[in-house]
Amino acid sequence: MSAEIITIGTELLNGIGKDTNGAMIAAKLASIGIEVQYQTTVGDDAARMADVFRAAAHRAQVVIMTGGLGATSDDLTRKVIATVFRRRLVLDEAVLEHIRARFRVRGIEMPAINEAQALVPRGAGIIENPRGLAPGLHFTHLEADYFSIPGVPHEAEAMMDTYILPYLRARRPGIPATRRVIRTVGISESVLAERLRPVEASEERIRVGYLPHIHGVDITLAPVVPDLTWMEDALDRCEARVRELAGDHAYGAEGDTLSAVVGSLLLERRATLATAESFTAGAVGAAITATPGASRYYLGGIVAYSNRAKQELLGVRATTLERHGAVSAETAEEMAHGARTRFDCDVALSSTGIAGPDGGTPEKPVGLVYFGIATSDGVRSARFVLPGNRPEITGRSVAYLLDLARRQLAPAAV
Amino acid sequence: MSAEIITIGTELLNGIGKDTNGAMIAAKLASIGIEVQYQTTVGDDAARMADVFRAAAHRAQVVIMTGGLGATSDDLTRKVIATVFRRRLVLDEAVLEHIRARFRVRGIEMPAINEAQALVPRGAGIIENPRGLAPGLHFTHLEADYFSIPGVPHEAEAMMDTYILPYLRARRPGIPATRRVIRTVGISESVLAERLRPVEASEERIRVGYLPHIHGVDITLAPVVPDLTWMEDALDRCEARVRELAGDHAYGAEGDTLSAVVGSLLLERRATLATAESFTAGAVGAAITATPGASRYYLGGIVAYSNRAKQELLGVRATTLERHGAVSAETAEEMAHGARTRFDCDVALSSTGIAGPDGGTPEKPVGLVYFGIATSDGVRSARFVLPGNRPEITGRSVAYLLDLARRQLAPAAV
């Protein structure tokens, strides 16, 4: 059972846009045991699109195409399907009404060009689009299944979940190449790889992968060739060994986030949280509240970007700022203490640092950051010099600060 | 002059990894006038790789491959190049010494498997790799140039900059397909396309593209076939017409962000800014400070996630919360007013809303948001019902709120 993904759009080939659908679709197909053998990206060009559709038709049993279903003149997928697979386009009244209705809700009359989105290749099924205008299309050709879905990521993802995966699971059962993901924070890829060498040596049927992100490194374990007779046992063994070797750097599995892990720990302890942010300017609060239900523990925060705000809203002392500067352990600690008092909460986190590109000095370079944490046990701080540019320093700081909270709140197991 | 990108790696097709090299290479090639017509991703499988290499050889004059140059058994690029292009692999002593030296620096003896990375297809040139072990390879075959570079993004990028771009610029001079990007906010793709129909009709040598993001739609203008004799004039004309038709929804060009545009307007007016955020929880502050130098106008903010924080830190009245609720125009306005007072600033922005997935009611559904803005002219608010899931509602809200500030601060031209 092999699949091919085709992503369509000139913007994906000229550096303006970025494809995220390919990886999303590949992950979902892998989860039901379907292997993606090729992914091809092609611009909005009828001849090249036809070329790519024909190549896929020769080598795949499942073809998923994204993009080119909009209403504008550069949206050519319907036309090219009609040509390559010799199916006339027919206006679908139900689809047209769905599109009209979506405009009506917004109090806008449907522009005439949107009628094109109701054209359906003869004999193709409709994949409903509750989140947008254009429906997806499904047809078969010489034993292969073809799905054409929008390029808008959340529309594409919804169609994968509600239609394509259930259909394929029923019609084309495969052996899911089960995998394990162990998420880590605060340890570099190469140090981690050195530590995990015994795992790689002990089990050659399992492939160990490393995927570095700004927020940490994910370790993946997957069978080289899926085989139900030994796969789960071997993965269990490897995963246990990886967790042991990674120590307290390992914080979760696939789908877990530091934000959710910290949230769970707070809920367990019935503790409340507040933030005092300087250079991260709200990014920590935004990360915490990315977890649904965060209002059960997160009370709020103060973004004290200016020194005056640090003094007036968080009670940082003028003498602290004068003597140690805004980027210092002392300021970080007074900020955390101030937030804990203002919000009357159990745990308060603070950040102060230099994200660059300007503002660095030999003593306080770009990337120098201090994080503070205040609890009923008192206040403490941590200092790091982080690599990267402005967004990378900010992104990494959010992870490090959440990790500080995780370690503080975790049962003292290590 | 057409190019093809081939990215190699099983991890790119099973949802574990994500390709970033393709977009990076495409953008760099576009900058020197080389059009990428196809990008193909293939797993670490010799037969499929050969299939993809052969397809590229039929249709492109420049082929850039990334990945598969590591030292482990699943790194097959050298072998497949040898097979497809009939070139024997030869051990290159200089490359071997480079690899040995890099291990030596780390105090490790070179593992035997790394010797494979010094194998070079006969007649291929070496692209030096100051950042890693495997060198890149360059060879020609039937008038086409082939480049094979590592999959590690910073190694690949360095080879693009130091070798591939200079080589191509000298040998294959293209006409840079100048393009224009007009960024818009607050108008849907299809409504925009309706408005811009006269542009598409008036100039068929220019292709009009639409790229929807969470924060708005980018319009791209590019010549169908680059031609120096008329291209710039036609683009100028089209761009002026697009800006006219898009009206005040157009806020900038390629590289501009709402955050930077709002920052410039604040600097022009020597005005200061503060934020009061409820459900966006710091995302607005983080967006504002994504622009370097934001400390010249951004003083800080209050994240008032709980009602108590709204009252105590922003002075929202208890009666307002009781009568109208936390998600209301009245609360948004009092929050903005409170932030303006607390921070003693010129402009204050506020957000309150329901990002979901829970917390919606028939009267106040998920996606209902209110934004407030307080200036010396007083306080006002705007109400929207936004589509999408939790991160999408938050992301769109950041754009809408920054847009509110932009319209308030912009010279009253419209």
| Amino acid letter, A236 | D
Least Cα separation, residue B140 to chain A (angstroms)? 23
Q: Which residues contact A277 (CB under 8 A, 6 or more apart)?
A: A283, A284, A285, A301, A302, A303, A304, A350, A351, B282, B285
Q: Are the Cβ atoms of A70 and B26 closer than 8 angstroms?
A: no
Q: What percent of chain B has pLDDT over 70?
A: 98
Q: Which of B303, B306, B350, B384 to mutate to test the interface with A (most CBs of A within 10 A)?
A: B303
Least Cα separation, residue A50 to chain B (angstroms)? 12
Give how far the C-alpha of residue B406 lies from the chain's centroid of Cα atoms, to the nearest Å.
22
Distance CA B341, CA B333 (A): 12
pLDDT band, very low/low/confident/very high, at A412 (cuts 50, 70, 90): low
Per-residue confidence (pLDDT) for residue A288, from 0 to 100: 98
Give the model confidence (pLDDT) of B303-356 as tens digits.
999 999 999 999 999 999 999 999 999 999 999 999 999 999 999 999 999 999
pLDDT band, very low/low/confident/very high, at B183 (cuts 50, 70, 90): very high
Per-residue confidence (pLDDT) for residue A195, from 0 to 100: 87
* Burial environment of residue B5 by CB neighbours within 10 A (0 to 12, 13 to 18, 19 or more): buried
Q: Which two tokens stand for residue A363?
A: 């003593």
Query: Among all residues of chain A, which has the CA nearest to that of B280?
Result: A286
Per-residue confidence (pLDDT) for residue B233, from 0 to 100: 93
Query: What is the average pLDDT score of chain B?
Result: 92
H-run or E-run covering B340:
helix B329-343
Give the model confidence (pLDDT) of A368-393 as tens digits.
999 999 999 999 999 999 888 899 89
Of A20, A53, A56, the C-alpha closest to A37 is A56
CA–CA distance from A334 to each of A319, A379, A399, B44, B278 (Å)? 12, 8, 21, 53, 24
Q: What percent of chain B is helix, strand and coil (3-state, nearest 5)?
A: 45, 25, 35
Residues on chain B touching A279 (C-beta within 8 angstroms):
289
Q: Which of A78-82, A177-181, B192-196 has the lowest mean pLDDT?
A: A177-181
Nearest to B40 among A38, A209, A301 (CB): A38
Give the model confidence (pLDDT) of B71-110 as tens digits.
877 789 999 999 999 999 999 999 999 999 988 877 778 8
CATH class name, domain A180-253: alpha beta
Residues on chain A touching B293 (C-beta within 8 angstroms):
358
Residues A185 and A249 sit within 8 Å (Cβ to Cβ): yes
Of B203, B228, B215, the C-alpha closest to B256 is B215
Q: What is the average per-residue pLDDT within B21-36?
A: 90
Per-residue confidence (pLDDT) for residue A355, from 0 to 100: 95
Q: What percent of chain A has pLDDT over 70?
A: 98
Q: Which two tokens stand for residue A259?
A: 């934000």
Peptide bond preceding A357 in cis form (omega within 30 of 0): yes
Residue A6 has pLDDT above 90, yes or no: yes
Q: Could you tell me the CATH superfamily of domain B2-171?
A: MoaB/Mog-like domain (3.40.980.10)
Least Cα separation, residue A377 to chain B (angstroms)? 24
Q: Which two tokens stand for residue A86?
A: 């010799």
Beta strands in B78-234 (DSSP E): 89-91, 119-121, 125-127, 136-141, 144-149, 180-184, 206-213, 216-223
The helix/strand count (H/E) of chain B reads as 15, 17
Q: Which two tokens stand for residue A205?
A: 């049927």
Residues on chain A touching B257 (C-beta within 8 angstroms):
none
Distance CA A335, CA A159 (A): 46
Q: What percent of chain A is helix, strand and coil (3-state, nearest 5)?
A: 45, 25, 35
Cross-strand partners of B10: none
Residue B177 has pLDDT above 70, yes or no: no
Residues on chain B touching A181 (C-beta within 8 angstroms):
16
Q: What is the average per-residue pLDDT within A294-320?
A: 97
pLDDT band, very low/low/confident/very high, at A174 (cuts 50, 70, 90): low
Least Cα separation, residue B361 to chain A (angstroms)? 16
Residue B175 has pLDDT above 70, yes or no: no
Q: Judge whether B50 is closer than 8 Å to chain A, CB to CB.
A: no
Q: Judge whether B58 is closer than 8 Å to chain A, CB to CB.
A: no
The Cβ-side half-sphere exposure at A141, using a 13 Å CA radius, reads: 24
Calculate ∠ Cα B70-B74-B77, nearest 5°. 60
Residues on chain B touching A44 (C-beta within 8 angstroms):
209
Query: Among all residues of chain A, which has the CA nearest to that of B106?
Result: A190
Residue A413 has pLDDT above 50, yes or no: no
Residue A222 has pLDDT above 90, yes or no: no
Residue B162 has pLDDT above 80, yes or no: yes
Q: What percent of chain B has pLDDT over 90?
A: 71
Distance CA A377, CA B167 (A): 62
Least Cα separation, residue A381 to chain B (angstroms)? 22
Does the pTM exceed 0.90? no
Question: Any idea where the domains of chain A sit in the sequence?
Answer: 2-171, 180-253, 258-409
Tell how strand A347-353 and strand A368-375 pair up: antiparallel
Give the model confidence (pLDDT) of A10-22 as tens digits.
989 987 778 889 9
Q: Are the Cβ atoms of B193 and A71 closer than 8 angstroms?
A: yes
Give the model confidence (pLDDT) of B236-294 as tens digits.
999 999 999 999 999 999 889 999 999 999 999 999 999 999 999 999 999 999 999 99
| Amino acid letter, A235 | L
Q: Are the Cβ atoms of B43 and A55 closer than 8 angstroms?
A: no
Residue B413 has pLDDT above 60, yes or no: no
H-run or E-run covering A246:
helix A231-246
Q: What is the average per-residue pLDDT within B149-176?
A: 88
Per-residue confidence (pLDDT) for residue A177, from 0 to 100: 63
For the domain B258-409, what is the CATH code?
A: 3.90.950.20
The Cβ-side half-sphere exposure at B163, using a 13 Å CA radius, reads: 22
Distance CA A76, CA A10 (A): 11
Interface subset of B 348-407, CB within 8 angstroms of A: 356-358, 387-392, 394
pLDDT band, very low/low/confident/very high, at B113 (cuts 50, 70, 90): confident
Q: Judge whether B38 is closer than 8 Å to chain A, CB to CB.
A: yes
Residues on chain A touching B197 (C-beta within 8 angstroms):
113
Residue B414 has pLDDT above 50, yes or no: no
Give the model confidence (pLDDT) of A250-287 as tens digits.
999 988 999 999 999 999 999 999 999 999 999 999 99
Q: How far apart are the first and last CA of chain A?
A: 45
Residues B15 and A23 sit within 8 Å (Cβ to Cβ): yes
Q: Which two tokens stand for residue B57?
A: 């050889």
CB pairs under 8 A between A and B: 274
Of B14, B67, B80, B72, the C-alpha closest to A226 is B14
Q: Is B28 left (phi over 0), alpha (psi -120 to 50) or beta?
A: alpha
| Amino acid letter, B31 | S
Query: Among all residues of chain B, which has the CA nearest to that of A3?
Result: B13
The interface pTM score, or ipTM, of the predicted complex is 0.79
Residue A414 has pLDDT above 50, yes or no: no
Q: Judge whether A295 is closer than 8 Å to chain B, CB to CB.
A: yes
- DSSP three-state, residue B378: strand
